[in-house]
């Protein structure tokens, strides 16, 4: 600091003392405010206050730009979370390896939670450097090509409970499951019991049903052979995919309806499971799908035409009934008029 600038502060600091000494002979001494002494002290020491408010602005020199802050953000064996920036670069100095992703500005991010590993993989490329993530700190990259792939699925290992063994009979000796096939009752797992009179009768009925089924099958085969022989000259219509699926589904439903598996309930009553009931109602419910949009519109048009036809028939019937009633009413009036004329007698002629 220049000497000329220091003289003024020194003079300001010395003046109050001289005034005080000169004033000792007087009755009252002037008081010096404390802020004046503080200001004089600061000026003597050479302190300066800020003349411009910076407000935390990021100031740079004219020949510099904002720093890009490139380079490694995480070191090796450091634990990271998904999405963490590991390395920021311009161009691919490092390539994404195991469980890492490369951003559009060549920034390498962590795809999973784990430990950072910087490594080389000669099998993939002889010169490239890779950054990967491992789930265990002690793992070494790259993994062997024949090693199983390590993935974290977010599942927790819970010991699985062993399924209870199916007991064919209840404590009361009643079979838990009964299978009904075409009117025949078969016990699910309890056929090792001694046959009773009812079971013997059921077996006889089963044999009778089997014989009837065999006869029906033979009759159907004969009829089919006859029909095929008669239709040899007539070209049959080609079966489409939809008709084949419908025929297969109808056969499945027929088997499901004939073969019913019933389970004993708490009230000792046999009933079918809700799942099987829902399967039976699957494609036979009220809601029907007709395939393409044109098929839906065609079905809607046919349904509307049928409703109009029924409405016209109903109106025609009502017209016929109303006409019959009017005819009956008019016939009754004529009869009443004839009866009144008969009572009054013939008219007298004037002379």
Q: What is the DSSP string of 94-162?
A: SEE-TTEEE-TTS-EEESSSEEEEEEE-TTT-SS-EEEEEESSTT--SSPPTTSPPP--------PPPP
CATH says 71-134 is which class? mainly beta
Is the per-residue pLDDT at 115 higher than 70? Answer: yes
Range 330-344 average pLDDT: 67
User: Distances in Å between the alpha carbon of 222 and those of 64, 75, 214, 227, 324?
Assistant: 101, 84, 12, 9, 56
Higher pLDDT, 216 or 139: 139
Helix, strand, or coil here: 36?
helix
pLDDT of the residue at 328: 73
Determine what percent of the chain is predicted with pLDDT higher than 90: 25
Q: HSE (CB half, 13 Å, CA atoms) of 253? A: 15
Q: d(Cα 105, Cα 67) in Å, to the nearest integer?
A: 16
Is the per-residue pLDDT at 43 higher than 50? Answer: yes
pLDDT of the residue at 185: 47
Mean pLDDT value across the chain: 76
Range 75-94 average pLDDT: 96
Q: d(Cα 185, Cα 178) in Å, to the nearest integer?
A: 7
Supply the angle between the helices 3-22 and 34-45 in degrees, to the nearest 10: 150
Query: Using only C-alpha atoms, what is the Rg of the chain?
Result: 53
pLDDT of the residue at 230: 56
User: Distances in Å between the alpha carbon of 344 and those of 176, 261, 339?
Assistant: 93, 87, 9
Structure tokens at 330: 């008019």
Picking from 120, 152, 116, 114, the residue whose alpha carbon sits closest to that of residue 136 is: 114
pLDDT tens for 143-186 read 999 998 888 887 788 888 888 888 888 888 888 888 877 544 44
135, 114 Cβ separation under 8 angstroms? yes
pLDDT of the residue at 129: 97
Find tokens 């009869």 and name the residue: 335
Is the per-residue pLDDT at 14 higher than 80? Answer: no
Is the per-residue pLDDT at 23 higher than 70? Answer: no
104, 89 Cβ separation under 8 angstroms? no
Report for 45-54, 63-72, 242-251: range of highest mean pLDDT: 63-72
Picking from 44, 15, 19, 45, the residue whose alpha carbon sits closest to that of residue 30 is: 19
pLDDT of the residue at 113: 94
Q: For residue 199, name the pLDDT band (cuts at 50, 70, 90).
A: low
Q: Sign of dihedral through CA atoms 256, 257, 258, 261?
A: positive
Question: Which is it for strands 95-96 and 79-80: parallel, antiparallel or unpaired?
Answer: unpaired
Q: For residue 64, name the pLDDT band (cuts at 50, 70, 90).
A: confident
Is the per-residue pLDDT at 334 higher than 70? Answer: no
Q: For residue 241, name the pLDDT band (cuts at 50, 70, 90).
A: confident
pLDDT of the residue at 188: 47
Q: d(Cα 310, Cα 154) in Å, to the nearest integer?
A: 63
239, 254 Cβ separation under 8 angstroms? no
What is the DSSP-derived secondary structure letter of residue 169? B
User: Distances in Å between the alpha carbon of 319 and those of 140, 312, 313, 315, 325?
Assistant: 95, 11, 10, 6, 10
Question: Which is it for strands 108-110 and 100-102: parallel, antiparallel or unpaired?
Answer: antiparallel
- Where are the domains positioned within the chain? 3-45, 71-134, 175-212+246-285
Is the per-residue pLDDT at 87 higher than 80? Answer: yes
pLDDT of the residue at 266: 84
Range 60-75 average pLDDT: 89
Report for 74-78, 249-253, 286-290: range of highest mean pLDDT: 74-78
Q: HSE (CB half, 13 Å, CA atoms) of 144? A: 3
Range 248-265 average pLDDT: 75
pLDDT of the residue at 69: 93
Higher pLDDT, 137 or 335: 137
Q: Which of 4-8, 102-106, 342-346 has the lowest mean pLDDT?
A: 4-8
Range 264-274 average pLDDT: 85
116, 96 Cβ separation under 8 angstroms? no
What is the DSSP-derived secondary structure letter of residue 240? -
Picking from 80, 77, 136, the residue whose alpha carbon sits closest to that of residue 108 is: 80
pLDDT of the residue at 189: 45
Is the per-residue pLDDT at 250 higher than 60? Answer: yes
Is the per-residue pLDDT at 206 higher than 70? Answer: no
């Amino acid at each position: 600091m220049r000497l000329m600038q220091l003289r003024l502060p020194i003079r300001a600091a010395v003046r109050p003392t001289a005034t005080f000494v000169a004033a000792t002979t007087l009755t009252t001494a002037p008081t010096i405010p404390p802020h004046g002494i503080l200001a004089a002290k600061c000026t003597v020491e050479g302190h300066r206050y800020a003349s411009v408010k910076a407000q935390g602005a990021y100031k740079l020199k004219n020949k510099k730009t904002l720093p890009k802050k490139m380079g490694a953000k995480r070191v090796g064996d450091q634990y990271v979370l998904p999405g963490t920036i590991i390395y920021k670069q311009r161009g691919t100095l490092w390539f994404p390896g195991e469980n890492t992703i490369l951003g559009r500005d060549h920034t390498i991010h962590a795809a999973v939670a784990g430990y950072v590993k910087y490594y080389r993989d000669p099998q993939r490329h002889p010169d490239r450097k890779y950054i990967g993530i491992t789930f265990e700190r002690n793992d070494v990259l790259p993994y062997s090509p024949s090693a199983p792939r390590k993935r974290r699925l977010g599942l927790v290992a819970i010991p699985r409970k062993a399924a209870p063994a199916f007991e064919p009979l209840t404590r009361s000796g009643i079979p838990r499951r009964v299978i009904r096939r075409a009117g025949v009752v078969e016990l699910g797992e309890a056929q090792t019991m001694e046959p009773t009179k009812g079971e013997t009768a059921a077996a006889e009925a089963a044999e009778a049903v089997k014989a009837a089924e065999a006869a029906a099958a033979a009759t159907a085969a004969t009829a089919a052979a006859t029909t095929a022989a008669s239709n040899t000259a007539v070209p049959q219509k080609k079966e489409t995919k939809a008709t084949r699926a419908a025929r297969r589904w109808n056969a499945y439903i027929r088997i499901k309806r004939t073969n019913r598996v019933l389970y004993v309930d708490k009230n000792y009553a046999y009933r079918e499971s809700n799942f099987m009931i829902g399967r039976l109602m699957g494609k036979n419910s009220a809601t029907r799908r007709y395939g393409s949009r044109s098929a839906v519109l065609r079905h809607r048009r046919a349904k509307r035409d049928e409703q109009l036809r029924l409405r016209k028939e109903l109106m025609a019937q009502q017209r016929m009934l109303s006409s019959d009633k009017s005819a009956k009413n008019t016939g009754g009036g004529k009869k009443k008029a004839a009866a009144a004329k008969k009572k009054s007698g013939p008219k007298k002629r004037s002379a």
